[in-house]
Amino acid sequence: MSEPDGTKAPARPRQVTVAGVTAAAACLLLVVTLFDSMATVRSADMRDRVAKFLSTPPGDGLGLSADAVVDLLRAVVLVSGALAAAGAVLAIFALQRHRGARVGLAVAAVLMLFSATFVSGILPLVVAVAAAMLWGREARDWYDGRQPRPAPQAPGPLPPHLSHPQAGAPQAGSTYPPAGSPWATPAPQGGGPGHPAPAAFRAAPRTGRPVQVTAAVWLTWVFSAFVAFVFVLVVLTMLLDRDRLLEEIQRTPTLTDAGFTTRQILGFMWVLSAVAIAWSLGAMALAALAFRRVEIARVVLVVSGIVAGLVCLAAVPVGWPGAVAAFTTVALLSRRPARDWFAGRGLPPGPPRQSLPQPPPRSKPPVW
Protein backbone atom coordinates (compact mmCIF):
# COMPACT_ATOMS: atom_id res chain seq x y z
CA MET A 1 0.00 0.00 0.00
CA SER A 2 1.26 3.46 -0.90
CA GLU A 3 0.29 7.03 -0.09
CA PRO A 4 -1.34 9.39 -2.64
CA ASP A 5 2.03 11.09 -3.13
CA GLY A 6 3.65 7.77 -4.06
CA THR A 7 5.50 7.15 -0.80
CA LYS A 8 5.24 3.80 0.89
CA ALA A 9 2.67 3.65 3.67
CA PRO A 10 3.86 2.58 7.11
CA ALA A 11 3.12 -0.97 8.18
CA ARG A 12 0.08 -1.52 10.36
CA PRO A 13 1.09 -1.82 14.01
CA ARG A 14 0.29 -4.99 15.90
CA GLN A 15 -1.67 -2.91 18.40
CA VAL A 16 -4.11 -1.81 15.67
CA THR A 17 -4.49 -5.35 14.35
CA VAL A 18 -5.26 -6.80 17.77
CA ALA A 19 -7.68 -3.99 18.61
CA GLY A 20 -9.55 -4.18 15.30
CA VAL A 21 -9.91 -7.96 15.31
CA THR A 22 -10.97 -7.96 18.96
CA ALA A 23 -13.57 -5.23 18.41
CA ALA A 24 -15.03 -6.96 15.35
CA ALA A 25 -15.20 -10.35 17.07
CA ALA A 26 -16.74 -8.90 20.24
CA CYS A 27 -19.37 -7.00 18.22
CA LEU A 28 -20.32 -10.13 16.27
CA LEU A 29 -20.62 -12.13 19.48
CA LEU A 30 -22.70 -9.32 20.93
CA VAL A 31 -25.12 -9.49 17.99
CA VAL A 32 -25.57 -13.24 18.54
CA THR A 33 -26.03 -12.71 22.28
CA LEU A 34 -28.65 -10.03 21.73
CA PHE A 35 -30.73 -12.39 19.61
CA ASP A 36 -30.98 -14.68 22.63
CA SER A 37 -31.68 -11.68 24.87
CA MET A 38 -34.59 -10.65 22.64
CA ALA A 39 -36.17 -14.08 23.03
CA THR A 40 -35.69 -13.87 26.79
CA VAL A 41 -37.28 -10.42 26.99
CA ARG A 42 -40.36 -11.63 25.11
CA SER A 43 -40.86 -14.65 27.38
CA ALA A 44 -43.64 -14.92 29.95
CA ASP A 45 -41.10 -15.59 32.67
CA MET A 46 -39.48 -12.19 32.12
CA ARG A 47 -42.88 -10.50 32.25
CA ASP A 48 -43.66 -12.21 35.56
CA ARG A 49 -40.29 -11.21 37.02
CA VAL A 50 -40.82 -7.59 35.98
CA ALA A 51 -44.34 -7.56 37.44
CA LYS A 52 -43.05 -8.99 40.72
CA PHE A 53 -40.33 -6.34 40.89
CA LEU A 54 -42.79 -3.52 40.24
CA SER A 55 -45.15 -4.76 42.95
CA THR A 56 -42.54 -4.60 45.74
CA PRO A 57 -40.34 -1.74 47.00
CA PRO A 58 -38.47 0.01 45.49
CA GLY A 59 -40.04 -0.98 42.18
CA ASP A 60 -43.52 0.13 43.21
CA GLY A 61 -42.29 3.72 43.41
CA LEU A 62 -41.27 3.87 39.76
CA GLY A 63 -44.82 4.29 38.50
CA LEU A 64 -44.27 1.90 35.56
CA SER A 65 -46.29 -1.02 34.29
CA ALA A 66 -44.87 -4.40 33.33
CA ASP A 67 -45.71 -3.84 29.64
CA ALA A 68 -43.87 -0.51 29.62
CA VAL A 69 -40.74 -2.05 31.16
CA VAL A 70 -40.78 -4.97 28.72
CA ASP A 71 -41.16 -2.57 25.78
CA LEU A 72 -38.25 -0.50 27.14
CA LEU A 73 -36.06 -3.60 27.41
CA ARG A 74 -36.92 -4.60 23.84
CA ALA A 75 -35.97 -1.12 22.62
CA VAL A 76 -32.65 -1.33 24.49
CA VAL A 77 -31.91 -4.72 22.92
CA LEU A 78 -32.74 -3.46 19.41
CA VAL A 79 -30.60 -0.33 19.79
CA SER A 80 -27.73 -2.39 21.20
CA GLY A 81 -27.96 -4.83 18.32
CA ALA A 82 -27.81 -2.02 15.78
CA LEU A 83 -24.80 -0.50 17.53
CA ALA A 84 -23.03 -3.88 17.67
CA ALA A 85 -23.61 -4.52 13.96
CA ALA A 86 -22.34 -1.04 13.12
CA GLY A 87 -19.34 -1.58 15.39
CA ALA A 88 -18.37 -4.78 13.56
CA VAL A 89 -18.43 -2.98 10.20
CA LEU A 90 -16.55 0.03 11.56
CA ALA A 91 -13.86 -2.23 13.08
CA ILE A 92 -13.24 -3.80 9.67
CA PHE A 93 -12.87 -0.37 8.06
CA ALA A 94 -10.65 0.78 10.91
CA LEU A 95 -8.27 -2.06 10.08
CA GLN A 96 -8.05 -0.58 6.58
CA ARG A 97 -6.83 2.74 8.02
CA HIS A 98 -10.12 4.61 7.79
CA ARG A 99 -9.91 7.48 10.27
CA GLY A 100 -13.65 8.14 10.30
CA ALA A 101 -14.31 4.48 11.11
CA ARG A 102 -11.99 4.74 14.11
CA VAL A 103 -13.98 7.70 15.46
CA GLY A 104 -17.29 5.95 14.73
CA LEU A 105 -16.15 2.81 16.52
CA ALA A 106 -15.21 4.86 19.59
CA VAL A 107 -18.64 6.52 19.63
CA ALA A 108 -20.44 3.18 19.18
CA ALA A 109 -18.39 1.62 21.99
CA VAL A 110 -19.33 4.44 24.41
CA LEU A 111 -23.02 4.17 23.51
CA MET A 112 -22.96 0.39 23.98
CA LEU A 113 -21.62 0.89 27.48
CA PHE A 114 -24.89 2.68 28.33
CA SER A 115 -27.20 0.23 26.54
CA ALA A 116 -25.84 -3.26 25.93
CA THR A 117 -24.16 -3.64 29.31
CA PHE A 118 -27.55 -4.10 30.97
CA VAL A 119 -28.51 -7.05 28.76
CA SER A 120 -25.29 -8.70 27.55
CA GLY A 121 -22.61 -8.73 30.25
CA ILE A 122 -18.99 -7.69 29.66
CA LEU A 123 -18.81 -7.77 25.86
CA PRO A 124 -19.41 -3.98 25.56
CA LEU A 125 -16.45 -3.45 27.90
CA VAL A 126 -14.27 -5.55 25.57
CA VAL A 127 -15.33 -3.39 22.62
CA ALA A 128 -14.59 -0.22 24.59
CA VAL A 129 -11.09 -1.42 25.53
CA ALA A 130 -10.36 -2.39 21.91
CA ALA A 131 -11.58 1.00 20.67
CA ALA A 132 -9.35 2.75 23.19
CA MET A 133 -6.33 0.80 21.90
CA LEU A 134 -6.85 2.42 18.50
CA TRP A 135 -5.89 5.78 20.03
CA GLY A 136 -2.46 4.80 21.28
CA ARG A 137 0.71 6.51 20.09
CA GLU A 138 1.62 3.91 17.45
CA ALA A 139 -1.98 3.77 16.22
CA ARG A 140 -2.19 7.57 15.89
CA ASP A 141 1.06 7.64 13.92
CA TRP A 142 -0.24 4.94 11.58
CA TYR A 143 -3.56 6.67 10.95
CA ASP A 144 -1.75 9.97 10.33
CA GLY A 145 0.58 8.32 7.81
CA ARG A 146 3.74 8.83 9.89
CA GLN A 147 6.43 6.34 10.63
CA PRO A 148 6.26 5.13 14.23
CA ARG A 149 8.18 7.36 16.60
CA PRO A 150 10.84 5.55 18.61
CA ALA A 151 10.22 5.23 22.31
CA PRO A 152 12.57 7.20 24.57
CA GLN A 153 15.58 5.11 25.57
CA ALA A 154 17.48 5.21 28.79
CA PRO A 155 21.08 6.45 28.58
CA GLY A 156 23.62 3.70 28.09
CA PRO A 157 26.30 2.74 30.59
CA LEU A 158 29.35 4.91 31.09
CA PRO A 159 32.56 3.98 29.30
CA PRO A 160 34.85 1.62 31.22
CA HIS A 161 37.49 4.29 31.81
CA LEU A 162 34.87 6.43 33.61
CA SER A 163 32.78 3.76 35.36
CA HIS A 164 35.82 1.83 36.71
CA PRO A 165 38.72 4.08 37.74
CA GLN A 166 42.10 2.51 37.13
CA ALA A 167 45.59 3.25 38.14
CA GLY A 168 46.91 6.41 36.58
CA ALA A 169 43.48 8.09 36.61
CA PRO A 170 43.45 11.77 37.55
CA GLN A 171 43.20 12.53 41.24
CA ALA A 172 40.43 14.46 42.87
CA GLY A 173 40.61 18.18 42.18
CA SER A 174 42.38 17.77 38.82
CA THR A 175 40.83 18.14 35.39
CA TYR A 176 40.66 15.39 32.84
CA PRO A 177 41.50 15.68 30.00
CA PRO A 178 44.05 18.33 30.85
CA ALA A 179 43.30 21.82 29.70
CA GLY A 180 44.88 22.57 26.34
CA SER A 181 45.02 18.92 25.26
CA PRO A 182 43.46 17.99 21.90
CA TRP A 183 40.82 15.96 23.72
CA ALA A 184 39.62 18.75 25.98
CA THR A 185 36.24 20.31 25.26
CA PRO A 186 35.64 23.99 25.86
CA ALA A 187 33.50 24.64 28.91
CA PRO A 188 30.47 26.87 28.50
CA GLN A 189 30.97 30.43 29.57
CA GLY A 190 28.85 31.95 32.24
CA GLY A 191 26.51 30.14 34.56
CA GLY A 192 27.79 31.85 37.70
CA PRO A 193 26.25 34.73 39.57
CA GLY A 194 25.56 37.56 37.18
CA HIS A 195 26.73 35.49 34.20
CA PRO A 196 23.83 33.53 32.72
CA ALA A 197 24.64 30.44 30.72
CA PRO A 198 24.33 30.54 26.93
CA ALA A 199 21.06 29.57 25.31
CA ALA A 200 22.52 26.24 24.10
CA PHE A 201 23.04 25.14 27.72
CA ARG A 202 19.70 26.32 29.12
CA ALA A 203 16.72 23.98 29.27
CA ALA A 204 14.10 24.74 26.69
CA PRO A 205 10.71 25.80 28.10
CA ARG A 206 7.89 23.30 27.91
CA THR A 207 4.58 24.09 26.26
CA GLY A 208 1.85 24.11 28.92
CA ARG A 209 -1.79 23.18 28.67
CA PRO A 210 -3.61 25.51 26.24
CA VAL A 211 -6.14 27.88 27.72
CA GLN A 212 -8.77 26.43 25.37
CA VAL A 213 -8.47 23.00 27.03
CA THR A 214 -8.60 24.46 30.53
CA ALA A 215 -11.70 26.53 29.74
CA ALA A 216 -13.48 23.57 28.09
CA VAL A 217 -12.74 21.29 31.02
CA TRP A 218 -14.02 23.78 33.58
CA LEU A 219 -17.16 24.45 31.55
CA THR A 220 -17.84 20.73 31.47
CA TRP A 221 -17.25 20.30 35.19
CA VAL A 222 -19.44 23.25 36.22
CA PHE A 223 -22.45 22.57 33.99
CA SER A 224 -22.31 18.77 34.41
CA ALA A 225 -22.20 19.15 38.19
CA PHE A 226 -25.16 21.55 38.04
CA VAL A 227 -27.23 19.16 35.89
CA ALA A 228 -26.40 16.21 38.15
CA PHE A 229 -27.38 18.25 41.23
CA VAL A 230 -30.73 19.29 39.69
CA PHE A 231 -31.71 15.73 38.77
CA VAL A 232 -30.59 14.39 42.14
CA LEU A 233 -33.07 16.86 43.65
CA VAL A 234 -35.73 15.54 41.26
CA VAL A 235 -35.06 11.97 42.40
CA LEU A 236 -35.22 12.98 46.07
CA THR A 237 -38.53 14.75 45.41
CA MET A 238 -40.00 11.65 43.78
CA LEU A 239 -38.90 9.55 46.73
CA LEU A 240 -39.74 11.84 49.63
CA ASP A 241 -42.62 14.04 48.42
CA ARG A 242 -44.35 11.99 45.78
CA ASP A 243 -47.91 13.09 46.53
CA ARG A 244 -47.11 16.77 46.13
CA LEU A 245 -45.27 16.05 42.87
CA LEU A 246 -48.33 14.20 41.53
CA GLU A 247 -50.51 17.18 42.39
CA GLU A 248 -48.19 19.52 40.50
CA ILE A 249 -48.23 17.19 37.49
CA GLN A 250 -52.02 17.11 37.47
CA ARG A 251 -52.14 20.91 37.60
CA THR A 252 -49.88 21.26 34.56
CA PRO A 253 -52.12 21.72 31.50
CA THR A 254 -49.42 20.80 29.00
CA LEU A 255 -49.04 17.31 30.44
CA THR A 256 -52.73 16.66 31.03
CA ASP A 257 -53.74 17.83 27.55
CA ALA A 258 -51.13 15.53 25.95
CA GLY A 259 -52.99 12.48 27.26
CA PHE A 260 -50.19 11.07 29.43
CA THR A 261 -51.12 9.26 32.61
CA THR A 262 -49.47 10.00 35.93
CA ARG A 263 -47.66 6.66 35.93
CA GLN A 264 -46.24 7.31 32.48
CA ILE A 265 -45.01 10.76 33.49
CA LEU A 266 -43.35 9.37 36.62
CA GLY A 267 -41.69 6.60 34.65
CA PHE A 268 -40.36 9.09 32.12
CA MET A 269 -38.99 11.26 34.92
CA TRP A 270 -37.20 8.27 36.48
CA VAL A 271 -35.59 7.29 33.17
CA LEU A 272 -34.66 10.90 32.35
CA SER A 273 -33.13 11.44 35.78
CA ALA A 274 -31.06 8.25 35.58
CA VAL A 275 -29.76 9.08 32.10
CA ALA A 276 -28.99 12.71 33.00
CA ILE A 277 -27.09 11.81 36.19
CA ALA A 278 -25.09 9.05 34.48
CA TRP A 279 -24.36 11.30 31.49
CA SER A 280 -23.21 14.18 33.71
CA LEU A 281 -20.90 11.99 35.77
CA GLY A 282 -19.49 10.43 32.61
CA ALA A 283 -18.84 13.87 31.09
CA MET A 284 -17.03 14.96 34.26
CA ALA A 285 -14.86 11.84 34.13
CA LEU A 286 -14.06 12.46 30.44
CA ALA A 287 -13.14 16.06 31.24
CA ALA A 288 -10.74 14.85 33.94
CA LEU A 289 -9.08 12.50 31.43
CA ALA A 290 -8.90 15.29 28.84
CA PHE A 291 -7.29 17.51 31.46
CA ARG A 292 -4.56 14.85 31.70
CA ARG A 293 -4.09 14.87 27.89
CA VAL A 294 -5.93 11.68 26.86
CA GLU A 295 -6.82 12.00 23.17
CA ILE A 296 -9.74 9.54 23.16
CA ALA A 297 -11.34 11.48 26.04
CA ARG A 298 -11.24 14.64 23.92
CA VAL A 299 -12.93 12.91 20.98
CA VAL A 300 -15.68 11.34 23.09
CA LEU A 301 -16.19 14.60 24.99
CA VAL A 302 -16.66 16.46 21.69
CA VAL A 303 -19.28 13.92 20.56
CA SER A 304 -21.00 14.10 23.94
CA GLY A 305 -21.02 17.90 23.78
CA ILE A 306 -22.66 17.91 20.34
CA VAL A 307 -25.40 15.51 21.46
CA ALA A 308 -25.92 17.37 24.74
CA GLY A 309 -26.16 20.69 22.91
CA LEU A 310 -28.85 19.35 20.57
CA VAL A 311 -30.81 17.93 23.50
CA CYS A 312 -30.57 21.21 25.41
CA LEU A 313 -31.78 23.14 22.36
CA ALA A 314 -34.94 21.03 22.37
CA ALA A 315 -35.64 22.05 25.99
CA VAL A 316 -36.87 25.55 25.13
CA PRO A 317 -35.86 27.87 26.77
CA VAL A 318 -34.59 26.24 29.96
CA GLY A 319 -31.85 24.29 28.22
CA TRP A 320 -30.40 27.13 26.16
CA PRO A 321 -27.62 28.01 28.65
CA GLY A 322 -26.57 24.36 28.64
CA ALA A 323 -26.59 24.32 24.84
CA VAL A 324 -24.35 27.39 24.74
CA ALA A 325 -21.93 25.78 27.21
CA ALA A 326 -21.91 22.47 25.30
CA PHE A 327 -21.24 24.03 21.89
CA THR A 328 -18.60 26.33 23.41
CA THR A 329 -16.84 23.28 24.84
CA VAL A 330 -16.93 21.58 21.45
CA ALA A 331 -15.51 24.67 19.75
CA LEU A 332 -12.71 25.04 22.30
CA LEU A 333 -11.64 21.40 22.08
CA SER A 334 -11.69 21.55 18.28
CA ARG A 335 -9.33 24.52 18.04
CA ARG A 336 -5.90 23.91 16.57
CA PRO A 337 -3.91 24.64 19.78
CA ALA A 338 -5.97 22.04 21.65
CA ARG A 339 -5.61 19.44 18.87
CA ASP A 340 -1.86 20.02 18.63
CA TRP A 341 -1.48 19.70 22.41
CA PHE A 342 -3.35 16.40 22.52
CA ALA A 343 -1.38 15.10 19.52
CA GLY A 344 1.96 16.15 21.03
CA ARG A 345 2.82 18.47 18.15
CA GLY A 346 4.65 21.74 18.49
CA LEU A 347 6.57 20.86 21.66
CA PRO A 348 10.03 22.47 21.79
CA PRO A 349 13.01 20.12 21.86
CA GLY A 350 14.85 19.50 25.08
CA PRO A 351 18.35 20.76 25.87
CA PRO A 352 21.16 19.37 23.71
CA ARG A 353 22.92 16.31 25.03
CA GLN A 354 26.64 16.62 25.64
CA SER A 355 28.89 13.69 24.87
CA LEU A 356 31.43 12.60 27.44
CA PRO A 357 35.08 13.31 26.61
CA GLN A 358 37.07 10.33 25.40
CA PRO A 359 40.48 9.52 26.93
CA PRO A 360 43.65 9.73 24.85
CA PRO A 361 44.87 6.47 23.31
CA ARG A 362 47.46 4.71 25.45
CA SER A 363 50.73 3.83 23.76
CA LYS A 364 51.94 1.67 26.63
CA PRO A 365 50.12 -0.79 28.83
CA PRO A 366 49.40 0.40 32.39
CA VAL A 367 51.97 -0.47 35.02
CA TRP A 368 50.49 -2.59 37.83
Q: What is the per-residue pLDDT for 62? A: 65
Q: What is the per-residue pLDDT for 200? A: 39
The mean pLDDT value for 162-179 works out to 50
Residue 156 lies in a domain: no
Q: What is the per-residue pLDDT for 148? A: 65
The residue with greater pLDDT, 150 or 77, is 77
120 and 223 share a domain?
no
216 and 139 share a domain?
no
Report d(CA 11, CA 139) in Å as an integer.
11
- Find out whether 258 and 271 touch, Cβ atoms under 8 Å: no
Question: Using CB atoms within 10 A of its CB, is residue 81 exposed (0-12), middle (13-18) or buried (19+)?
Answer: buried
Residue 293 lies in a domain: yes
Residue 63 lies in a domain: yes
The closest alpha carbon to 188, from 172, 178, 202, 204, belongs to: 202
pLDDT above 80: residue 327 = yes
Question: What are the pLDDT digits (tens) for 242-283?
Answer: 777 777 777 776 666 667 777 777 777 888 888 888 888 888
Mean pLDDT of the chain: 75
The closest alpha carbon to 304, from 278, 266, 270, belongs to: 278
Instruction: Kindly report whether the global pTM for this prediction surpasses the value 0.85.
Output: no
Report d(CA 367, CA 4) in Å as an integer.
66
Question: What are the pLDDT digits (tens) for 177-205?
Answer: 555 555 554 554 444 444 454 443 343 34
**Residue 69: how many other CB atoms lie within 10 Å:** 21
Q: What is the per-residue pLDDT for 118? A: 66
Residue 354 lies in a domain: no
Q: Which of 87, 111, 143 is the last residue of a domain?
A: 143
Q: Given pLDDT bands bounded at 50, 70 and 90, which one contains residue 24?
A: very high
| Range 82-85 contact pairs with CB under 8 angstroms and sequence separation of 24 or more | 83/108, 83/111, 83/112, 83/115, 83/116, 84/27, 84/28, 84/30, 84/31, 84/34, 84/112, 84/116, 84/127, 85/27, 85/31
Residue 184 lies in a domain: no
Residue 102 lies in a domain: yes
The domain total for the chain is 2
CA pseudo-torsion sign 236, 239, 240, 243: positive
Residue 122 lies in a domain: yes
- Which range marks the domain in which residue 316 is found? 211-343
Report d(CA 168, CA 170) in Å as an integer.
6
125 and 27 share a domain?
yes
Q: What is the per-residue pLDDT for 107? A: 86
Residue 200 lies in a domain: no
The mean pLDDT value for 285-301 works out to 86
25 and 113 share a domain?
yes
The residues with which 2 forms a beta bridge, in sequence order, are 8
Q: Which of 143, 169, 201 is the last residue of a domain?
A: 143
Report d(CA 190, CA 102) in Å as an integer.
52
